[in-house]
Structure 1
Amino acid sequence: MENTVKSDISTEKCICLIKKLISTDTAQPFGNEAALCDFIAKRYEGFDVRVVRFRHDDLRASVVVEIAGGNMSGIAFFGHLDTVATGDLSAWTVNPFAAEISGDTVYGRGAADMKGGIASMLMALDKLLAEGIRPDRRVLFCFTADEEKGGTGASAIAESGILDGIEEMIFCEPSGGKLGLCEKGAVWLELSAVGKSCHASRPELGENAAEKLMDAVLRIKKLDAGGETLLLPAGTISLTAFNSGVMTNILPDTATAKMDIRTTPPRNNRDVIKEIEEIARETGIAVEIINDRPAVETDNEEPFVQRIRETAKHFGRNPGEKGISFYTDASIVVSRYPFPFVIFGPGDDAECHTIDEKSSISEMVSYAKMYFRYIDEYCKRKDVEYGFE
């Protein structure tokens, strides 16, 4: 069978890839990333690479494509295959899975977050393999499931040991032309309280679960989520849902709430959670931690960061630095492998999760060229070839 992988990094190839990626619905909550993992694995059949699949359930999977190096050190590129849900389809002016193109712009769910980054990764990988480039260091392309919710894919990859020896990581999320060097952490809470119902005119006969829970919520909101940093605004603590009561004249006997906490480095999520659990004990409520993503950061003086800058300058870019207020797979991977990383990929993060989401095709092409050049410049030795037996 003739392999369709060619060495070109072009607009035409990008359009072909982004149409395939967007038209494959991988929206939460079902994901269906396994369909794209099959596409990626099949694409590189016949090449001297190691393809490692991680099956999470019938529909959900992640995959890693590894190019061998002369030693275990190397670089890993990360991109997530899932997207958020489309929301109200009637609000869209385009079909979210048709990958409609107008000029240099492609529209659709995941165009920015982050199937554009996936297209860039695939084009760079295509060129490496089609040209037979053998790096002195390992190069891993990691395609993950469930980044938008539980981080199942990144966790499975990090726990597998396949990243052992990796020293640098690029998370190809949309970064608006800048280098993302840090991101806020996240702690999500589900809170509940139990009281005793009675007539609201005689509150002394009951226990108001809503007030009991609100007391805890207000105390949690006063906690320290981390201060402002050079690249990030101060941490935040938000009440995002509160449910209680059935009638105006009945004291509620149950109440539930959800809270979203965003932490900034160096504030440690474990310390925040410990303080929340103490408040829960003191107020008599129950708390469940449903998401725990630590804040992570990279020093802007790291040699890896400087090499990325030099690569970008070759293409006429001089990227500034930024902090990322949302979390990425970096929160999972970097906490286990605390090595230098950047968040650097095509698209504007302001487009993430929006109606009529869009991204620039030429930016996807440009980032693919930067990824390829970085590998070619800093990971390759021309006098030695390595591969898998």
Structure 2
Amino acid sequence: MKSDFGKLKNYIEKNTVLMTELESLLTSIPALAPENGGDGEEEKCAALEKWLAENGITNLRRYNAPDSRVSAGFRPNLVAEIPGENSECAVWVCAHLDVVPAGELSLWNTNPWQAVVRNGKILGRGVEDNQQGLCSGVLAALSFVKQGIVPERTIKLLFMADEEVGSRYGMNFLIEKHPEIFGKNDRILIPDGGDPLGQTIEVAEKNILWLKFHTVGKQAHGSRPDQGCNAKLAACSLALKVHGLESVFSEQNPMFEPCRSTFEPTMQYQNVSGVNIIPGDDVFCADCRILPVYSLDEVRKEVARIVSETEKEYGVKIQVEELQAEQSKATSPDSPVAQELSGAIQKVHGIQPRFIGIGGGTVAAGLRNSGIDAVVWSTMDELAHQPNEYTVIENIGKDALVIAYMAC
């Protein structure tokens, strides 16, 4: 009931700083995917599960995704539920447990795996991405549980695996294997992106296509290019053609930043080990972010065309591998979840939000493609994946207030 919001607000404001305890616990347990040299999220999930139970959130359920690459044999997905008067329209807060590696340690001013509280901020790997959103959802739930207040709507907190490297064992696993857990009328919030004022609500994402191009020519001595077939030269030409697809898919949409589709050659694999060797083999990758007005099949067709063109021009063979492909529908700004979140932000913080699209990918894409509306929102400085990542402690409470308002 909205009449209880004053009590909820008072609890959240008094207990926001206590979330540093949970942040410290979670930061101390690196939850890295096998692709990033880690052993998954189970140790972190088990610690969170224990902490929640000790603090009164006891309605917990696991949805483990089998993965033989990690010692646990699975990747954990945990749902905490706080039953409300209305279970037909639950409010979800979906945060991910995994983090990215710390990167170059010399760039950090603190130990990335030890949360440090300083000047109203918490520093450490994962404290913002995505532990801030995780803690906001937990704090909102505790404001009901600790005061014996039954929310108007059931609150469901999802703690996912595998978001950083594709969500195969996280959200996408849940959508495929356990679609029954999400109701068509549920209000799903993903606190995994935002801005320092909390005034942007993400309702659309660019389509994502990550490509790996393997060019095969013939190795030769640097002084005898006539005896070889320079795979590097062909790959350079292809990289420019990939980038040139921006002029093919040229529509613009001011909802996104940048407002156009982007086709960026990125990672380059090592080929030869000497300056005087003409490479017969070359591998590079490209990160393509495409406005939703274009389908991935349209892009694939153009990629096939420029690959064929390059093969004929340089006498090489080119293999193309898709490392990631994600085509996302949009959530309408007029949808119930978008309008209710917008109204809650206005009511609680006096901010008029605006709806945006982003180039990055979130787990909202899978939900939207399955017919479930979802929005991405948080109040954050956007330090994801950077050295000296931090979260502003006050933001945890500010976002918890909005979540509580939507549920009460």
What TM-score comes out, normalization by structure 1 length?
0.85
Shift of the 204–271 alpha-carbon distance from structure 1 to 2, 3 Å rule, reads: same
> How much does 1:48 deviate?
6.8
Q: Deviations over 1:294-325 (max 9, x none)?
A: 24432223333221122112222313333333
In structure 2, the residue matched to 1:155 is: 172
Give, in whole Å, the separation in 2 of the partners of 1:135 and 1:190: 49
Pair 1:305-2:338 in alignment: yes
Q: Deviations over 1:164-209 (max 9, x none)?
A: 4233321111411122222233211111011122334443332222
Shift of the 249–32 alpha-carbon distance from structure 1 to 2, 3 Å rule, reads: closer
Give, in whole Å, the separation in 1 of the partners of 2:275 and 2:249: 35
**Residues 11-90 of structure 1 mapped to structure 2, 5 A cutoff:** 11-28=16-33, 29=36, 30=38, 32-42=40-50, 43-44=52-53, 49-57=59-67, 58=71, 60-67=75-82, 72-90=88-106
* RMSD between superposed Cα atoms in Å: 2.6
In structure 2, the residue matched to 1:285 is: 318
Give, in whole Å, the separation in 2 of the partners of 1:241 and 1:12: 41
Shift of the 31–175 alpha-carbon distance from structure 1 to 2, 3 Å rule, reads: farther
In structure 2, the residue matched to 1:271 is: 298
> How much does 1:367 deviate?
0.8
Equivalent position SS for 2:64: strand
Q: Deviations over 1:123-176 (max 9, x none)?
A: 122234445555675543211112111213111111121344233321111411
In structure 1, the residue matched to 2:138 is: 122
In structure 1, the residue matched to 2:367 is: 333
Equivalent position SS for 2:80: strand
Equivalent position SS for 2:369: helix
Shift of the 253–261 alpha-carbon distance from structure 1 to 2, 3 Å rule, reads: same
> How much does 1:363 deviate?
0.9
> How much does 1:238 deviate?
1.0
Residue number among 313, 324, 327 corresponding to 1:294 in the alignment: 327
Equivalent position SS for 1:143: strand
Equivalent position SS for 2:209: strand
> How much does 1:226 deviate?
5.9
- For the 8 Å contact 2:63–2:174, the answer to whether it is kept is no
In structure 1, the residue matched to 2:3 is: none
> How much does 1:118 deviate?
0.6
In structure 1, the gaps of 5 or more residues are 1-6, 377-389
In structure 1, the residue matched to 2:212 is: 190
Pair 1:356-2:361 in alignment: no
Shift of the 123–166 alpha-carbon distance from structure 1 to 2, 3 Å rule, reads: farther
What TM-score comes out, normalization by structure 2 length?
0.81
- For the 8 Å contact 1:82–1:147, the answer to whether it is kept is yes
Q: Deviations over 1:204-253 (max 9, x none)?
A: 33222222333332322222456331321212111112343343343221
Q: Which of structure 1's runs of 4+ aligned residues deviate more than 6 A?
A: none
Pair 1:98-2:114 in alignment: yes
Shift of the 99–250 alpha-carbon distance from structure 1 to 2, 3 Å rule, reads: closer
Equivalent position SS for 2:141: helix
In structure 2, the gaps of 5 or more residues are 1-7, 312-316
In structure 2, the residue matched to 1:379 is: none
Give, in whole Å, the separation in 2 of the partners of 1:226 and 1:135: 48
Give, in whole Å, the separation in 2 of the partners of 1:271 and 1:135: 46
- For the 8 Å contact 1:173–1:346, the answer to whether it is kept is no
Name which of structure 1's ranges 150-159 and 73-82 shifts more when overlaid on structure 2: 73-82
In structure 2, the residue matched to 1:109 is: 125
Equivalent position SS for 1:113: coil
In structure 2, the residue matched to 1:228 is: 252
- For the 8 Å contact 1:174–1:348, the answer to whether it is kept is no
> How much does 1:278 deviate?
4.2
Name which of structure 1's ranges 13-22 and 241-250 shifts more when overlaid on structure 2: 241-250
Shift of the 328–225 alpha-carbon distance from structure 1 to 2, 3 Å rule, reads: farther
Give, in whole Å, the separation in 2 of the partners of 1:52 and 1:334: 23
Shift of the 202–102 alpha-carbon distance from structure 1 to 2, 3 Å rule, reads: closer
Shift of the 119–137 alpha-carbon distance from structure 1 to 2, 3 Å rule, reads: closer
- For the 8 Å contact 1:226–1:267, the answer to whether it is kept is no
